[in-house]
């Protein structure tokens, strides 16, 4: 039997550690090199949502099918979305969660738990190691953003009680968050919450000033009596690459650009790409073919939806009714249907037709089915 070579991975984030765990389970010797002094310590505690509407089944079960354990913190049951001009949408999850809260950064982070799982399998993690750009000594590159397309600024708040950890708020207000930007209020426990706002990299607006305006207009009651703890900054990159390989190195997670272009959900793609990179090595398969078969179509759908969303935002979401509740089951059904794929392809040819016939009819059905005053 041919001896298996040692696999070297650059980056101990979610994608790199997913690869490491799968390779170790296949009896490969694995070394992971991380630039930070401790895994999971590169940022402050920061909750991120794992959305449940992109998956055929439950997203936790989907990701745990990649041979890792997801230490989610809370189930999200409501997302209240503010569209400006008094318009609101409530996405509710009574039967199934809208999503799950995953904690990034800190001792309770997803990265920390995956690192422990990897070490238990014999993976060697070397910290405080600087990896040079496109270092071809590594089999897998999981080093995060290679370019910056969006910037984010956030603040962490603490209080003795009062936060509802199963509810979040998202703000798409053209005055405060132009183009791809948005803001959100995200509790992850009864006494901890984060407020964050983002913008496109080249936009000449102050994120700090916009966040203060957002807090004053939308979150005064939510933050009343709560203490500011710390601030943090983020950067995001996303693209749909033709190939996620550089010579013999495989690119995973955000290093490959695997990120939701619209809302920047990246955890699913970090896990998927880490899993498929490992699978390609273990079974001697084409990595590009694996990831493209699994989620290229989804990336393309999201990119098309981003264009529609930007048009809606420029028009101040006038196509929406003032108040609307949509169950997560309906969103999942629409997103996974063939009809939405057809409409996304047709939109550039007839945007007004799509808005006036499909969306208004869709919203009318939701409002009729769930009552007009649910958000009052």
Interacting residues of 287 by C-beta distance below 8 A, sequence separation 6+: 244, 245, 250, 276, 277, 280
Nearest-angstrom CA–CA distance, 325 and 369: 9
Task: Give the pLDDT score at 354.
Answer: 61
150-236 folds as D-Amino Acid Oxidase; Chain A, domain 2 (3.30.9)
Task: Give the pLDDT score at 22.
Answer: 98
Task: Give the pLDDT score at 2.
Answer: 47
Question: What is the DSSP annotation of 159-224?
Answer: -SS---TTEEEEE--TTTS-TT--EEEEEEETTEEEEEEEEETT----HHHHHHHHHHHH-HHHHT
Q: How buried is 12 (Cβ within 10 angstroms: 0-12 exposed, 13-18 middle, 19+ buried)?
A: buried
pTM of the model: 0.90
What three-state secondary structure class fits 100? strand
| Chain Cα centroid distance, residue 18 | 16
- Please, where in the chain does CATH 3.50.50.60 lie? 7-147+238-302
- Please, where in the chain does CATH 3.30.9.10 lie? 150-236
Nearest-angstrom CA–CA distance, 137 and 363: 53
What three-state secondary structure class fits 145? coil
DSSP state of 143: -
Nearest-angstrom CA–CA distance, 214 and 7: 47
Kindly give the confidence (pLDDT) of every residue in the chain, 376 residues in length, as a single tens digit, with 9 standing for 90 and above.
445 789 999 999 999 999 999 999 999 999 999 988 888 665 567 899 999 998 889 999 999 999 999 999 999 999 999 998 888 999 999 889 999 999 988 888 999 999 999 999 999 999 988 877 667 789 999 998 767 778 889 999 998 878 999 999 999 988 888 777 899 999 999 999 999 999 888 888 899 999 999 999 999 999 999 999 999 888 877 788 899 999 889 999 999 989 887 787 889 999 999 999 999 999 999 999 999 999 999 998 888 888 888 888 888 887 777 888 889 998 888 888 887 777 777 776 666 666 655 555 555 555 444 444 333 3
Interacting residues of 92 by C-beta distance below 8 A, sequence separation 6+: 77, 78, 98, 325, 326, 327, 328
7-147+238-302 folds as FAD/NAD(P)-binding domain (3.50.50)
């Amino acid at each position: 039997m041919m001896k298996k070579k040692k696999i070297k991975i650059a980056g101990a984030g979610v994608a790199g550690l997913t690869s490491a765990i799968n390779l170790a389970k296949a009896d490969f010797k694995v070394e992971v090199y991380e630039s930070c002094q401790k895994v999971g310590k590169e940022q402050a505690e920061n909750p991120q949502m794992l959305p449940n509407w992109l998956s055929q089944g439950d997203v936790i079960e989907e990701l745990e099918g990649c041979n890792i354990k997801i230490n989610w913190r809370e189930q999200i049951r409501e997302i209240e979305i503010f569209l400006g001009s008094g318009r609101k949408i409530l996405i509710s999850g009574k039967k199934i969660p809208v999503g799950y809260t995953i904690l990034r950064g800190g001792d309770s982070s997803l990265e920390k738990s995956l690192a422990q799982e990897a070490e238990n399998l014999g993976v060697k993690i070397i910290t405080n190691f600087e990896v040079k750009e496109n270092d071809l000594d590594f089999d897998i590159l999981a080093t995060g953003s290679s370019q910056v397309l969006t910037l984010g600024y956030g603040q962490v708040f603490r209080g003795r009680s009062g936060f509802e950890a199963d509810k979040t708020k998202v703000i798409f207000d053209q005055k405060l968050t132009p183009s791809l930007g948005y803001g959100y209020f995200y509790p992850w426990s009864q006494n901890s919450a984060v407020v964050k706002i983002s913008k496109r990299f080249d936009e000449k607006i102050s994120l700090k000033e916009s966040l203060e305006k957002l807090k004053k207009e939308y979150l005064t009651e939510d933050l009343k009596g709560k203490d500011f703890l710390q601030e943090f900054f983020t950067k995001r990159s996303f693209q749909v690459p033709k190939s996620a390989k550089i010579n013999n190195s495989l690119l995973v997670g955000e290093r490959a650009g695997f990120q939701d272009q619209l809302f920047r959900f990246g955890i699913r793609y970090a896990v998927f790409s880490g899993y498929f990179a490992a699978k390609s090595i273990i079974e001697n398969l084409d990595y590009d073919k694996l990831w493209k078969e699994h989620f290229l179509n989804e990336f393309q759908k999201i990119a098309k939806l981003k264009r529609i969303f930007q048009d809606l935002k420029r028009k101040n979401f006038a196509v929406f009714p003032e108040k609307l509740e949509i169950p997560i089951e309906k969103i999942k059904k629409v997103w996974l249907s063939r009809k939405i794929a057809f409409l996304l392809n047709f939109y550039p040819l007839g945007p007004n037709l799509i808005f006036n016939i499909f969306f208004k009819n869709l919203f009318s059905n939701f409002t009729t089915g769930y009552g007009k005053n649910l958000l009052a």
